[in-house]
Chain A
């Protein structure tokens, strides 16, 4: 078919598709280690960024070569489990005014360039960074509850103006107290997309890796397994939200409960097996045994005596769960009086 030609002189309005370029203002900083299976999406969605630095921890699966192909400036370093601390060493490497830090399993949307442009060009002097909401994907579904959203991350900031603390996934902080961090207001704004855990198995593996490689205080006096038990309960109640994420939230709540307990055990080991961990076994287990025995006896005798009830009550009062929940009961009693 013969097609009509439309010369440029026919342009009758400014090109709305042309955007301000942010390419020279920004450096992407990524830390990698054997991420070949998930690096494609990151490369594809950040190919508009001109300055890209990858700090590669001796990948053996071709990640480094793939990054070189994608025009990343790749620096090889020794392997380390403390990536956040490593980041501090390389935060001064970018020569652009702004730095964007992403993980190898994260990616951006197609309108990210436009939105980052707007953020950078409209940032006042005192704003040193942006906390960006993050969409986390679990089993390929976006999470809306379970403590996973909006999951703000300080990832876009003025170069060398923030630092990371020791440990896994602790939020970075501004170097100067006067620095203002702007928090983006979801849902209709720039997001980081995080393909966290494609499968439950992957989730379990990763949590265990973090638990094993995390920093623990080795001073035996600071260890209290009760803290971990309380954290576990707190994790479960915070993460479980059927309305937002259905059964996935139950999976997450259970795994995070387990994660806290595992961390408690690792901490106990690293603080020299101090104290008797079995003191912390929830006494409700023993109460349950006691109850079972009492019921058994009552069934045999055919009578549930006052002594049985008193025994049960005493067992419960001595239980650890009773002591753990004491503050709550005290608050409740205040409410009633």
Chain B
């Protein structure tokens, strides 16, 4: 979990994560790594409550999201699965249980989660591509009740909640740190897909994703840079998948 300030929100996300780990009966075999990506006010062990043992990685320099995520993953080498989770995602208690079941059922190597805004509009049920290769969130802002829960292979899922076979993650050398902000998750999925990995999105329950909590003028600038890197790498190499 990568964080930069917003510690109260992070605590809520951790509390939800604890619950979903418990429901998946994984709380005794999991470790949580929180990457404090140059917070103005450092994240402190004393102020965080987690039933799952956790470690804080403290970064002085403001790293890209991908680089910060890789820092965290390095602390978990040896784990079977890595779950990347944004600190503005409040997981459903059964989210992880179903993600693991679906991963097994579909022999998937990457599994995303069905995410909604607090008003139940779809935030994420998978990533598609427009003609030309621009990625976009399928069914974005549509009412969740009207969107199918059928699981089918996808070209990419969001990194806001991403369960990854750790061997695959390290075989691909993690997220590409050259992406300053955003698009690193889609890039990772496309690289994974190119090796034959199956990618799905678990649809049985909805978790809440507030989304965009850290967006500011600077991140928008970085997002544009990331988009340019992404399009330079993938334009013409991904076919359109439209909702």
Contacts and interface: CB of A to CB of B under 8 A. Distances in A.
B5 to A, nearest CB: 12
Given A3-B165, A16-B70, A111 B60 contact: yes
B107 interface: yes
Nearest to A18: B173
Interface residues of A, number: 31
A4 B107 contact: yes
A267 interface: no
Contact of B58 (A8, A109, A141): A109
Contacts of A13: 172-173, 176, 191
Dominant SS among interface residues on chain A: loop
Contacts of A144: 40
A331 interface: no
Contact of B104 (A1, A7, A8, A191): A1
A17 B171 CA distance: 12
Contacts of A218: none
Nearest to B41: A142
Contact of B46 (A6, A111, A140, A193): A140
Contacts of A5: 167
B44 A140 contact: yes
Interface in A1-44: 1, 3-8, 10-17
A16 B109 CA distance: 22
B107 A110 contact: no
Given A10-B172, A191-B60, A3 B46 contact: no
Interface in B56-96: 57-63, 67, 70-71, 74, 80
A110 B176 contact: no
Interface string A128-170: 0000000100001110100000000000000000000000000
Identify which of A8, A10, A12, A14 gathers the most chain B CB atoms within 10 Å of its CB. Answer: A10
A140 B171 CA distance: 40
9 contacts: A6-B170, A7-B171, A11-B172, A12-B194, A16-B177, A17-B173, A111-B59, A111-B71, A135-B42
Interface of B: 38, 40-42, 44, 46, 57-63, 67, 70-71, 74, 80, 103-104, 107, 109, 165, 167-168, 170-174, 176-178, 191, 194-195, 197
